[in-house]
Amino acid sequence: MLAAIATLTDRLQQALVSAFGPELADADPVLVPASKPEFGDYQANGAMALAKRLKNKPRAIAEQIVARLEVGDLCEPPEIAGPGFINLRLRPAYLEAQLKVLQRDERLGVAPVQDPHKAIVDFSSPNIAKEMHVGHLRSTIIGDSIARVLEFMGHDVLRLNHVGDWGTQFGMLITHLQDVCPAALADDSQVDIGDLVAFYKQAKQRFDEDEDFKGRSREAVVGLQAGDATARAAWQVLCDQSRQAFQKIYDRLDICLTERGESFYNPLLPTVVADLEQQGLLVEDQGARVVFLEGFTNKDGDPLPLIVQKSDGGFNYATTDLAAIRYRTQQDGAERVLYVVDAGQANHFAQVFQVAARAGWVPTGVELTHVPFGVVQGEDGKKFKTRSGETVRLQDLLDEAVKRARADLESRIQAEGRNETEAFIAQVAEIVGLGAVKYADLSQNRTSNYIFSYDKMLALQGNTAPYLLYAYVRVQGISRKGGIDFTQLGDNAAIHLEDDSEFALAKHILQLDEVVNEVAQDLLPNRLCQYLFELSQKFNQFYDRCAVLQAAEPQRTSRLMVCDLTARTLKLGLSLLGIAVLERM
């Protein structure tokens, strides 16, 4: 796992444990955020848990802890409440000093890890000759956000796109391409095979209905696997055409990936089988070569086999995934490999990881993790599909989100009597539309299914991208209205917090480091979304209650700095989600 970085919560925990004394160093301080502001900011409930162990009343134990608790640089004098709760309230001077530190820190208090490691994030993974659809949405967006967080923390991240570019289906695709577009094999520079979905369907229909075509397709598979030049050329055309279509979506979503498809590992498959056999893990079962799994049984209670080589000598997904693990741990030197793949593949990965570990391909300290996610559902609770029952193309989904964002923007512009350029409208619609799609996905716990709703994701109120973007735009509006250059507010200016809403906002800003660290550990971007949503709420409450430009000095400059810190925190947090900000909306 990742090495933890000391945060404010860590410092308070350590102080409490020190106050327990060495004989109780294993005890949990049970430190939690205070349930109500009047109780302070944190509450330590460890005295309650120690009562039985120490054979003493919790309040008496709490008094002994407080007497030895050294948190004067962080907190007001601790208070004991009820039967033994220890309430901790952060000192205003500490909060003000920490905000001042953040003002000069482009990372806003999120320290990079001291021991960066090599991480591989395997995500997106569309199939060649098929268009990306809504099923690729979650893997692509979640994987990108996780990669961004790990990169920001200082890890060496390899973003891998394990595309489906090998297998028996290429026989029919190659044969169909040779029949309908033979010129592509001579010069593919100007080739456009058109709608990839239609092309695939045509090939599949011919394969199902035409015995001659089916026979030639099977011969094409053999030729492809044997390295036949014509088959390879046709295969390359299909891959290149698909890549162009994929890249348009990746560019639009600002997602970077290194493609290393199934074909990359194809030459390595025989050595995987040979290595497993040499170690005595491989056995023959009904003509296939398999590894019997520990802890996995069939309906009769017998050990379940993982097929590594089929009875006809061919390989499968498991073989490829084992080769990938072997390569990633031995050649890439990865210390953490994350597979952002739907929850339905949980058993597959558990089985493959087990075999790789038993084969000795997972060195001590190397972590293989399946990062599962649920399916995207329509508002009827079923899998999100078009009205005709087809899977929704990702390109169409993005276009529709931008179209709706544009319609909403144009109606607001008209209602407000504004005069905006086409370039402005197009840019705002694109950023809001795509940001809304990303945020709607990332704000859900990835392990759950989620209901896709354009209306909800584009709403200006609630936990949505437009709501967060609007909070950022509000700060930029203050800058424009007051002619303020936030970078020139001056190092000598101090921050003074007065209103309760200022304190609430300041405390929340200072929690960014803890949240980002949690996401890097637990791989749940929705925690960052929730943090940013609450930040926007607290900023709006502060903005509604406190004068900023009209405030007298030094409060005016202090509040301007708090506004700037809020906007910078929003911008950084949204960037880790892959969402751009806007100066105006």
Tokens for 271, please give them.
């050595």
Considering the domain architecture, whether residues 64 and 24 belong to the same structural domain is answered as yes
Tokens for 341, please give them.
């793949």
| Assigned domain for 583 exists | no
Considering the domain architecture, whether residues 138 and 287 belong to the same structural domain is answered as yes
| Assigned domain for 95 exists | no
DSSP state, residue 393: B
DSSP state, residue 159: E
Tokens for 183, please give them.
């010129």
CA triplet 527, 530, 533: central angle to 5 degrees? 150
**Do residues 581 and 493 touch, judged by C-beta distance below 8 A?**
no
| Assigned domain for 244 exists | yes
How high is the pLDDT of residue 352?
98
Where do the DSSP E strands lie in 209-260? 258-259
**Lowest mean per-residue pLDDT among 86-100, 232-246, 382-396, 495-509:** 382-396
How high is the pLDDT of residue 5?
46
Residue 582 to residue 467: CA distance in whole angstroms = 12
**CATH number for the domain harbouring residue 556:** 1.10.730.10
How high is the pLDDT of residue 538?
98
Considering the domain architecture, whether residues 432 and 566 belong to the same structural domain is answered as yes
Residue 193 banded pLDDT, cuts 50, 70, 90: low
Residue 560 to residue 348: CA distance in whole angstroms = 53
How high is the pLDDT of residue 72?
92
Considering the domain architecture, whether residues 275 and 366 belong to the same structural domain is answered as yes
pLDDT in tens, 65-75: 999 999 999 99
Residue 101 to residue 509: CA distance in whole angstroms = 12
Residue 281 to residue 357: CA distance in whole angstroms = 12
Domain count, the chain: 4
| Assigned domain for 389 exists | no
Considering the domain architecture, whether residues 186 and 247 belong to the same structural domain is answered as yes
| Assigned domain for 486 exists | yes
Return the closest-CA partner of residue 563 out of 459, 481, 458: 481
Mean pLDDT for the stretch of residues 315-324? 95
Mean pLDDT for the stretch of residues 298-309? 90
Q: What is the pTM for the complete model shown?
A: 0.93
pLDDT in tens, 398-445: 999 999 999 999 999 999 999 999 999 999 999 999 999 999 999 999
Return the closest-CA partner of residue 336 out of 158, 149, 163: 158
Considering the domain architecture, whether residues 151 and 174 belong to the same structural domain is answered as no
Three-state SS sequence of 495-523: CCCCCHHHHHHHHHHCCHHHHHHHHHHHC
Mean pLDDT for the stretch of residues 459-472? 96
Considering the domain architecture, whether residues 151 and 191 belong to the same structural domain is answered as no
Q: Does 265 have pLDDT greater than 70? A: yes
Do strands 288-297 and 283-285 pair parallel, antiparallel, or not at all (unpaired)? antiparallel
**Do residues 383 and 377 touch, judged by C-beta distance below 8 A?**
yes
Question: For residue 186, what are the domain limits?
Answer: 169-253
**CATH number for the domain harbouring residue 295:** 3.40.50.620
Considering the domain architecture, whether residues 336 and 359 belong to the same structural domain is answered as yes
Considering the domain architecture, whether residues 363 and 438 belong to the same structural domain is answered as no
Return the closest-CA partner of residue 457 out of 478, 477, 433, 473: 433
Return the closest-CA partner of residue 217 out of 182, 185, 172, 180: 172
Edge-to-edge, what's the strand order for the sheet holding 288-297? Answer: 283-285, 288-297, 303-309
Name residues whose C-beta falls within 8 Å of residue 212's C-beta, 6 or more positions apart in sequence.
none
**Lowest mean per-residue pLDDT among 83-92, 380-389, 446-455, 486-495:** 380-389
| Assigned domain for 558 exists | yes
Please say which residue of 253, 285, 301 terminates a domain. Answer: 253
Return the closest-CA partner of residue 265 out of 187, 160, 359, 353: 160
**CATH number for the domain harbouring residue 56:** 3.30.1360.70
Considering the domain architecture, whether residues 280 and 151 belong to the same structural domain is answered as yes
pLDDT in tens, 322-341: 999 999 999 999 999 999 99
Q: Does 584 have pLDDT greater than 70? A: yes
DSSP state, residue 2: P
| Assigned domain for 48 exists | yes
Please say which residue of 356, 371, 386 terminates a domain. Answer: 371
Q: What is the mean pLDDT of the chain?
A: 92
How high is the pLDDT of residue 541?
97
Q: Does 292 have pLDDT greater than 90? A: yes
Residue 190 banded pLDDT, cuts 50, 70, 90: low
Please say which residue of 253, 275, 309 terminates a domain. Answer: 253
Considering the domain architecture, whether residues 327 and 359 belong to the same structural domain is answered as yes
Considering the domain architecture, whether residues 189 and 296 belong to the same structural domain is answered as no
How high is the pLDDT of residue 3?
39
pLDDT in tens, 474-507: 999 999 999 999 988 877 889 999 999 999 999 9
How crowded is residue 448: how many other Cβ atoms within 10 Å of its Cβ?
Answer: 11
Distances (CA, A) of 501 to 538, 539, 545: 7, 8, 7
| Assigned domain for 98 exists | no
